[in-house]
Structure 1
Amino acid sequence: MTVFSKPRVLHTAASVAFAVSALFAGAGVAQARDAALPPMFDDLQRRTFDFFWETANPANGLVPDRHPTPSFSSVAAVGFGLTAYPIGVERGYVTRQQARERVLATLRFFRNAPQGDAKGTSTSGYKGFFYHFLDMKTGLRYDKVELSTVDTALFLAGALFCQSYFDGDDPAEKEIRKLAAEIYERVDWTWAQARKPSIALGWHPESGFIPYDWKGYNEAMLVYVLALGSPTHPVQPEAWKAWTSTYGDSLEGKGDQEYLAYPSLFIHQYSHVWIDFRGIRDEYMGKRGYDYFENSRRATYAQQAYAIANPLRCKGYGANVWGITASDGPVDKTLDYGGIKLPFRTYTARGIGGLKHYDDCTLAPTAAASSLPFAPEIVVPAVLEMKQRYGEWIYGRYGFLDAFNPSFDYDIPVSQGRTIKGKGWVDNDYLGIDQGPILAMTENYRSDFVWRVMRGHPVIRRGLERAGFTGGWLRQPEKVKPAAEMAPAQ
């Protein structure tokens, strides 16, 4: 397929779709997908892996929230790092022993990190949950950040992935499985139900629970699946029903374009990193007639359609340059842009939908790249074109920098990054929570690797079934090691 021989060639969505379809007709689907991807994706995947391998603290496994700007560790980024290491083994970037040692260092630290309800920064977590940010060296709470249910869930997903992947008889692999089970099983999900049956966003030892619960369609699918699947402190199935009952205001579009919407694209990606939602449906999606994977596919197309419509007349937006999500930005200042007052922002959860959803013409490559499994026919051309058109400024040692804004061409100081005359604003940091989905979702597209491993984890199956999911791969008999080898639950 010569259409993919040169990564700098721009392809139409139709040409990519044709090439992918043609390849599927031959060898297995995974091999076909792998062969269909341009060489640039090999380079991108290796560079994003290197972010985790080279920037993590090898002594405790903590991954920085961002790099190269000095920062604290993001607990969620650690989860993505734990997911990255087995991918590195499968791709030949590191040996199984090297990955095993890194995972062991990480899980040993989190199992032994101090837990308690003390105020201040003397602990790493409480009730099994962890604080959103931890000091890179000590692993203790950074400043007065919240105890985060979702960031803990992202970390746990990575730990459970390693628990399933490292399935050998080697003493180190047995220890990985034991540590992952201990860390997961001590999480008291019922304690986090401050307003039952919902789960709270977080907690502060100084002030108690955050007055908000996980409601409406968002990344909390993973939170609820892990909470439902717990063998020690599970929430009840009505928690999932209560959560899906708040979806109503999220629906957009009609017919085959209807989908549960959320302006930021990461919402449609995070839970899908570890859970294969293809072909399985809960009661809510059963009534709608499609699954959550299809929902994310439609959300991805909605992002492209928004970029084509380009209501704010942002520079660069188009069929092959799109992707808005939570990301860095240039400044917190309202400036005149083409006759409108445009509020620019630094880090925020940007999304499609104009000013009310914080669109300030800032694009994040992770938004498109991490959607590869959902819509490769539009994602591949987008990744290639962003690399071709802006790569000199936005593509570096660890792949794509977090964000860029071709429309921000003002001669004023910026909060971070830099402004390049005639090219706009470019970030100077890579963010762990945006690097992780690029690596993992590329691998899921190529080989189903993370999905395949997690389909065999009893926690994922149990959580989905208690949420009411049926069909698809859930129809297949459970193929897992005996419970005694997977978890130490008493």
Structure 2
Amino acid sequence: MKLFSKLLIFTLLISACNNSQQVVYQSNGKVNYQLTPEDEALLDSIQQKSFLYFLNERHPVWDVVKDRASEWAPSSIAATGFGIPSLAVGVERGWITREEAVKNTLSILSFYVNSSQSADTNAAGYKGFYYHFHRMSTGTREWRCELSSVDTGLLMMGIIFARNYYNTDNPDEQQIRELAKFLLDRIEWNFMEMPDTGKFAHTISMGWYPETGLHNMGWKGYNEALFLYILAAGLGMENIERSYNAWLKSYDWNTYYKDYPHAAFPPLFGHQFSHIFIDFRGLADPYMHKKGIDYFENSRRATYAQRQYAMDNPHGWVGYDSLCWGITASDGPTELYNSDGKTFYGYAGRGASNPNLNYFDDGTIAPYAALSSLPFAPEIVLPTVKSMIDRNGSRIWGKYGFYDAFNNTVNWVNDDFIGIAQGPTLLMIENFRTGLVWEYVMIDPVIQRGLNTLGFKYF
């Protein structure tokens, strides 16, 4: 597999020589950090438990991944996008065979290729995009959910990984590559461009509804959709530079914590999801070049800023300190726990950049928030994870590892597991340890083209 990657990089280098303006982007491999045997054992345990989610919580025929472990849950295209490379982690760590992973991956891609694409309210997708959730019974739209741009993007990033990882002449692996190309090429990106007026003009819309049309909001920076613009650029969205400039215009360069100035977005997942697939070390667009940092460093600072927020603990939540932080999208205690003037929320996009910029902070901690920042700041993440276990024990640990979230202010634990938490946990640990996902995504021509189109350069 390493030989394939080196040959593809060599091909890209030769191509770049014919066009001096083109940059060749590469993975920098694993993160250079010395782990103790205790650290290795801890990460082994967390990864293997998280992997079991993707092995067990899937459709018995189509292999698409459920949104959460609850029996009633539909499948999620984002969770499936994370699930595809998770199967490869299982192969590399000896938990399943390559043949099993190929079978499951081929089943997933076949489902999406063969599922219904139309403007009907009960289809699986439209214009190459897919609905956020699908019924486990029929494989069609669940509830009245949106045709999701960013979640389709996460699915496609997993598919990009697959077409590079499964690179042998085996007929099934060849078919994976063929189906991947079909799914990527079918997307009609300009269908999702917002109108040319209003504050979201020319951005990529958050979604579309067959009942009402485009979502009334578009993806403006900074948040988890950074990768979406790179993907759209690589797949030929018209006027993508204009759309990307619209995305950049709303960046909030936050300097509240003077040691950690960064493009702010309070929920930590917004600083993690793009980095699961793209190795941004040393890599910046024109905006970040002017700030003098790359996107990897931006996520490191966001991680440190949130830890500092927990240490400051402006709302006085029980447990917050230097070893208990991780505020991001998760379930929560809900209003059933409201008392003494304190308000608690259910599922919410929690986050905190500083005391003046925080969303829905109600004392709820999601362990995956810290774990998914492992590549950026292992020196603070590992002690935090160990402390969570020491302080809470089996109370926050179940069959797939860490539960989704806990809140020590009201002594609440959500004993469910969510796919878009399990995936980042498993994959960011793997990137930290081996660089696996980065290796097979960075070499893809779509990613190379997208980064070049949007002006990403190395320092």
Q: Give TM-score scaled by structure 1 length.
A: 0.83
- CA distance 1:296–1:227, change in 2 (3 Å): same
Q: 1:14 is matched with which residue? A: none
User: Over residues 240-280 of structure 1, what are the superposed CA-to-partner deviations in whole Å (9 max), with x where a residue is unaligned?
Assistant: 12211221x35334665210111111000000000000001
- In the alignment, which of 420, 438, 445 is matched to residue 425 of structure 2? 438
- Residues 30 and 366 (structure 1), Cα distance of their counterparts in 2 relative to 1, 3 Å cut: closer
Give 1:314 deviation, angstroms.
1.0
**2:330/2:347 contact within 8 Å kept:** yes
CA distance in 2, matches of 1:162, 1:35: 31
- For residues 377-410 of structure 1, give each alpha carbon's deviation from its aligned partner in whole angstroms, at most 9, with x where no partner exists: 00000111111211211111100010000101xx
- 1:351 deviates by 1.3
Please give the residue correspondences for 1:208-227 in structure 2 after superposition, counting only pairs within 5 Å. 208-227=213-232
Identical-residue share of aligned pairs (%): 44
Choose which of 286, 306, 327 in structure 1 pairs with 2:309. 306
Q: Report deviation, 1:137.
A: 2.9
Partner of 1:96: 98
How far has the Cα of 1:449 moved from its partner? Answer: 1.0
On the 8 A contact 1:328/1:403 being kept in 2, the answer is yes
Whether the aligned pair in 2 keeps the contact of 1:48 and 1:398 (CA below 8 Å) is yes
Can you list the C-alpha shifts for 1:110-160, whole angstroms capped at 9, x where unaligned?
Answer: 0111000012x2x10000000011112321000111101011001111111
| 1:16-40 CA-partner distances (Å, limit 9, x unpaired) | xxxxxxxxxxxx9668656663411
Letter matched to residue 328 of structure 2: T
2:329 touches 2:349 (CA, 8 Å); kept in 1? yes
One-letter code aligned to 2:134: L
3-state secondary structure, aligned to 1:344: coil
In structure 2, how many angstroms separate the alpha carbons of the residues matched to 1:29 and 1:133? 33
Kept in 2, the 8 Å contact 1:252–1:260? The answer is no
1:200 and 2:181 matched: no
What TM-score, normalized by structure 2, do the two folds share? 0.89
- How big is the alpha-carbon RMSD for the aligned residues of Structure 1 and Structure 2? 1.8
Give the equivalent residue in structure 1 for 2:450. 463
Contact 1:65–1:71 (CA under 8 A) maintained in structure 2: yes
- Residue in 1 that maps onto 2:130: 130
CA contact 2:30–2:432 (8 Å) conserved in 1:
no
Q: Deviations over 1:75-124 (max 9, x none)?
A: 100101012011111111111000000000000000111000012x2x10
CA contact (8 A) 1:370 1:442 kept: yes
Kept in 2, the 8 Å contact 1:72–1:134? The answer is: yes
1:82 pairs, out of 84, 91, 107, with: 84
Aligned positions of 1:245-324 closer than 5 A:
245-247=249-251, 249-253=252-256, 256-324=259-327
What is the number of residues matched between the two proteins?
423
Asked whether the equivalents of residues 304 and 318 of structure 1 are also in contact (C-alpha less than 8 Å), the reply is: yes
Counterpart Cα distance in 1 of 2:138 and 2:287 = 44
Closer, same or farther in 2 for the Cα pair 1:334/1:426, shift >3 Å?
A: closer
Deviation at residue 68 of structure 1 after TM alignment: 3.0
| CA offset digits 1:342-373 (Å, max 9, x no partner) | 21011001112569621100100011011000
Q: Secondary structure at the match of 1:67?
A: coil
| Greater shift in the superposed pair: 388-397 or 202-211 | 388-397
Q: CA–CA distance in 2 between the matches of 1:346 and 1:466?
A: 40
State the alpha-carbon separation in 1 of the partners of residues 446 and 407 from structure 2. 41
Is 1:238 paired with 2:242?
A: yes
Q: Is the 8 A contact 1:57 1:137 kept in 2?
A: no
CA spacing shift, 1:165–1:33, aligned 2, 3 Å: farther
Aligned ranges 1:270-419 → 2 under 5 Å? 270-333=273-336, 335-337=338-340, 341-352=341-352, 353=354, 357-408=359-410
Contact 2:132 2:147 in 1 (8 A): yes
Q: How does 1:50-61 map to 2 (within 5 A)?
A: 50-61=52-63
- Counterpart of 1:203 in 2: which secondary structure? strand
Amino acid at match of 2:306: Q
Where do 5+ consecutive residues of structure 2 fail to align? 1-28, 197-201
Partner letter of residue 321 of structure 1?
C
The residue number in structure 2 matching 1:154 is 154
1:425 alignment partner in structure 2: 412
Asked if structure 2 preserves the Cα contact closer than 8 Å seen for 1:63 and 1:136, the reply is no
In the TM superposition, 1:167-182 aligns within 5 A as 167-182=167-182
Q: Distance in 2 between matches of 1:67 and 1:277?
A: 32
Q: Secondary structure at the match of 1:130?
A: strand
Tell me how far 1:218 sits from its aligned partner: 0.7
Going from structure 1 to structure 2, the CA distance change for 1:168 and 1:151 (only over 3 Å counts) comes to same
Q: What is the distance in 2 between the residues matched to 1:199 and 1:316? A: 39
Kindly indicate whether the alpha-carbon contact (under 8 Å) linking 1:228 and 1:236 is maintained by their aligned counterparts in 2: yes
Q: Is the 8 A contact 1:216 1:250 kept in 2?
A: no
Shift of residue 435 of structure 1?
A: 0.6
CA gap of 1:34–1:70, structure 2 versus 1, over 3 A, is farther
Structure-1 separation of matches of 2:194 and 2:144: 20
The residue aligned with 2:440 is 453
Structure 2 CA distance for aligned equivalents of residues 378 and 34 of structure 1: 13
> In the alignment, residue 245 of structure 2 is paired with which amino acid?
K
Q: 2:75 aligns with which of 69, 73, 77?
A: 73
Question: Are the counterparts in 1 of residues 266 and 350 from structure 2 also a CA contact under 8 Å?
Answer: yes
